[in-house]
Amino acid sequence: MVIPNQPIGATVEHPNATAVLFLGAASIFCCGALGPVAWALGKRALDQIEDSGGALGGRAQVLVGYVLGVIGTVLMVLMAILFLLIVLGGNA
C-alpha cells in the first residue's frame, strides 16, 4: 500500500484510530450503544492495518478501542437483560 506525500518507511496513523478509541471509551462510560460501532470500526481498522504491511500505525489505539467496544457491548446486553428481568418479573 502506497500512501502519497509520505517518506519511505514512515508510518501514518490509521485515520480511524482516535475515533475507535473514543467510541470504545464512550461505550463503557456513557453510552453502551456505541459499543457495537467501536467493535465494527475497530475490526475494520485492525484488518486494514494488518493488510498495509507496516504503512499504517495506530494499532495499539485501535486495539484498545476495539476491546473497550466489545466490553461495552457485553455490558449493554447484560444491562438490557437485567432491565427486562426487573420489568417482567415485577419485584426483584
- Show me where the domains of the chain are located: 59-91
Q: Max CA-CA distance within the chain? A: 65
Q: For residue 6, how many C-alpha atoms fall within 13 Å in the half-sphere facing its CB?
A: 12
**Quick check: pTM over 0.85?**
no
Stretch 18-41: mean pLDDT, rounded? 93
The predicted model gives 50-61 an average pLDDT of 88
Which residue do the cell numbers 457495537 mark? 36
Average pLDDT score over residue span 48-60: 88
How distant is the alpha carbon of residue 51 from its chain centre?
18
Beta strand segments in 14-91, E: 56-57
The two beta strands, 12-13 and 56-57, are parallel
22 within 8 A of 30, measured Cβ to Cβ: no
Q: Report the pLDDT value the prediction gives residue 71, as an integer from 0 to 100.
A: 95
For residues 92 and 73, which has the higher predicted lDDT (pLDDT)?
Answer: 73
